[in-house]
Amino acid sequence: MRRTTVIRTGLSALLLLGTWATAGITPATAASPTAEAPASADAPASAGLLSAMQKDLGLTKSQATARLAAEKTATAVEGKARQAAGSTYGGSWFTPDTGKLTVAVTSDRNADAVRATGATIRLVKNSARQLDTVKERLDALDAPTGVSGWRVDPKSNQVVVSVVAAQKNDNDVRDFVTRALKTGPVTVEEIAEAPRTTAAGTVGGDPYYTGNVRCSIGFSVHGGFVTAGHCGQTGAAVRGWDNSAIGNFQGSSFPGNDYAWVNVANGWWTVPVVLGWGTVSDQLVRGSNEAPVGASICRSGSTTHWHCGNVQAKNVTVNYSQGTVYSLTQTSVCVEGGDSGGAYISGDQAQGVTSGGSGNCTAGGQSIYQPIKPILSRYGLTLHTA
């Protein structure tokens, strides 16, 4: 039997973040008769997920339910609003206080069409295309370690460069900032520490192992699962929580990107589930619609288990010590070593896999994930959904 270091409910006595093993265990004997049922297709979320949102986001149950409903609407509106805005599109974000999606536009030429989608309007100077161009110029620069990364920020309508406060006066950092400011609408923020990847050496706990590294499974795809690229190179063997062989890394990219996928064999197979680790019921995965900036998001990982927060920024470049990674998403969810590769989910929609972060889950921190759609596209994979 699997080591029970954490009490789990529902399928979690049986499931390993999208896979489960057949060591004499069957669903009938592993499922708890008192386990909380997962959310139905019509329900916004399970009671456990709503409870976690209340704890991590400071919401009441009714507020959490209303927020999920509003975020689902905003996710559906975002694509239509962007199309309506056309070349005037300057970015978008969800505002929890209003429950609305705000779309930045550079002129009111298409404003009526954007409002007709249900979004609110903010006039800005720079289009999303212009901001992306500025970020691409920064992506072409060599950054010192004191510069932790940069991202497009639609709310400020600028590209934000993050500098480690203790290294802001370093000559290389100051030189980079000077060059960055010349590329266009750029602003600089100071942060306490740089993000780091969150793989860990082999210690106790669940998930999967490759060499002497422990990481976390992300989402099941047909034929395997996706995870972080920095966890293993193509061809590396992968072992499960019971040390039995699962498969091998079929593809891996890091740095530049931070994604990989592993095939499953040897008696393992996939299921469309993210572990709730006893904090919430195991969550079914029903799709991969991308949540907007400002939306709530939760994460499952093998070290710190289940935590929730908000999407803070997209199209983020992170300057890890191992190399630069592009097009990541930043959140207010904490992570720690060993959480790498784990699943980010918004409602029942897969969002991405853990790349890294700063801080921890005791004092608080931020995290970065690799969006899932580029992984599926790169390797021609199909997400396993309920």
Confidence at residue 45, expressed as pLDDT on a 0 to 100 scale: 66
CA–CA distances in Å: residue 275 to residues 49, 118, 204:
11, 34, 18
Per-residue pLDDT band at 266 (split at 50, 70, 90): confident
Amino acid, single-letter form, for residue 308: C
23 alpha-carbon distance from chain centroid: 31
Query: Residue 255, preceding bond cis, omega within 30 degrees?
Result: yes
340 is catalytic: yes
Task: Average the pLDDT over 319-335 and give the result.
Answer: 96
Instruction: For the chain, give the mean pLDDT.
Output: 85
Within a domain: residue 21? no
Q: What percent of the chain has pLDDT over 70?
A: 86
Count of domains forming the chain: 3
Confidence at residue 111, expressed as pLDDT on a 0 to 100 scale: 92
Confidence at residue 52, expressed as pLDDT on a 0 to 100 scale: 83
Within a domain: residue 146? yes
Confidence at residue 204, expressed as pLDDT on a 0 to 100 scale: 28
The residue among 34 and 299 whose pLDDT is bigger is 299
Same domain, 201 and 281: yes
pLDDT at 9 over 50: no
Same domain, 296 and 266: yes
Same domain, 333 and 304: yes
Amino acid, single-letter form, for residue 250: Q
Confidence at residue 205, expressed as pLDDT on a 0 to 100 scale: 30
Give residue 87's domain range: 74-123
305 is catalytic: no
DSSP at 316: E
Same domain, 283 and 263: yes
Within a domain: residue 238? yes
pLDDT at 198 over 80: no
Within a domain: residue 272? yes
Per-residue pLDDT band at 25 (split at 50, 70, 90): very low
The sign of the torsion formed by the CA atoms of 65, 50, 259, 379 equals: negative
Task: Average the pLDDT over 282-306 and give the result.
Answer: 94
Confidence at residue 253, expressed as pLDDT on a 0 to 100 scale: 98
Q: Write the DSSP assignment of 123-138 as a string of letters.
A: E-SS-HHHHHHHHHHH
Within a domain: residue 35? no
230 is catalytic: yes
Token pair 């920020």 in the structure block, residue: 153
Q: Write the DSSP assignment of 168-203 as a string of letters.
A: TT-HHHHHHHHHHHTSSSEEEEEESS--EE--EES-
Same domain, 206 and 351: yes
Same domain, 301 and 202: yes
Within a domain: residue 386? no
**Catalytic residue chosen out of the listed positions 230, 305, 307, 384:** 230
Amino acid, single-letter form, for residue 34: T
The residue among 28 and 291 whose pLDDT is bigger is 291
Least confident of 44-58, 234-248, 257-271: 44-58
Q: Domain end: 107, 123, 139, which one? A: 123
Q: Domain end: 194, 220, 238, which one? A: 194
SS3 category, 270: strand
Least confident of 195-199, 268-272, 332-336: 195-199
Confidence at residue 41, expressed as pLDDT on a 0 to 100 scale: 46
Same domain, 264 and 164: no
Confidence at residue 286, expressed as pLDDT on a 0 to 100 scale: 94
CATH number at residue 168: 3.30.300.50
What value, to the nearest 5°, has the Cα angle with vertex 141 and ends 137 and 143? Answer: 130
User: What's the CA gap between 126 and 22, in Å, rounded?
Assistant: 55
pLDDT tens digits, 150-159: 999 999 999 9
pLDDT at 100 over 90: yes
Q: Report the side by side order of strands in the sheet with 200-201.
A: 200-201, 213-215, 208-210, 237-239, 245-253, 259-263, 224-227, 220-221
Per-residue pLDDT band at 51 (split at 50, 70, 90): confident
The kind and range of the H/E element at 260 are strand 259-263
Confidence at residue 50, expressed as pLDDT on a 0 to 100 scale: 83
CB atoms within 10 A of CB 265: 13
15: CB partners within 8 A, 6+ apart: 271, 273, 275, 282
| Main-chain phi, psi angles of 239, to 5 degrees | -115, 150
Confidence at residue 206, expressed as pLDDT on a 0 to 100 scale: 58
**Catalytic residue chosen out of the listed positions 258, 282, 339, 348:** 258
Same domain, 236 and 372: yes
pLDDT at 13 over 70: no
Same domain, 373 and 349: yes
Same domain, 134 and 93: no
CATH number at residue 294: 2.40.10.10
Per-residue pLDDT band at 87 (split at 50, 70, 90): very high
Confidence at residue 103, expressed as pLDDT on a 0 to 100 scale: 97
Confidence at residue 310, expressed as pLDDT on a 0 to 100 scale: 97
Task: Average the pLDDT over 323-335 and give the result.
Answer: 97
Confidence at residue 244, expressed as pLDDT on a 0 to 100 scale: 86
Same domain, 372 and 310: yes
Q: Domain end: 154, 178, 194, which one? A: 194
pTM (2 d.p.): 0.76
CB atoms within 10 A of CB 171: 9
Confidence at residue 43, expressed as pLDDT on a 0 to 100 scale: 55
Within a domain: residue 100? yes
The residue among 140 and 35 whose pLDDT is bigger is 140
The sign of the torsion formed by the CA atoms of 220, 349, 330, 144 equals: positive
Same domain, 232 and 322: yes
The kind and range of the H/E element at 113 are helix 111-115
**Catalytic residue chosen out of the listed positions 253, 302, 327, 340:** 340
Within a domain: residue 56? no
Amino acid, single-letter form, for residue 277: W
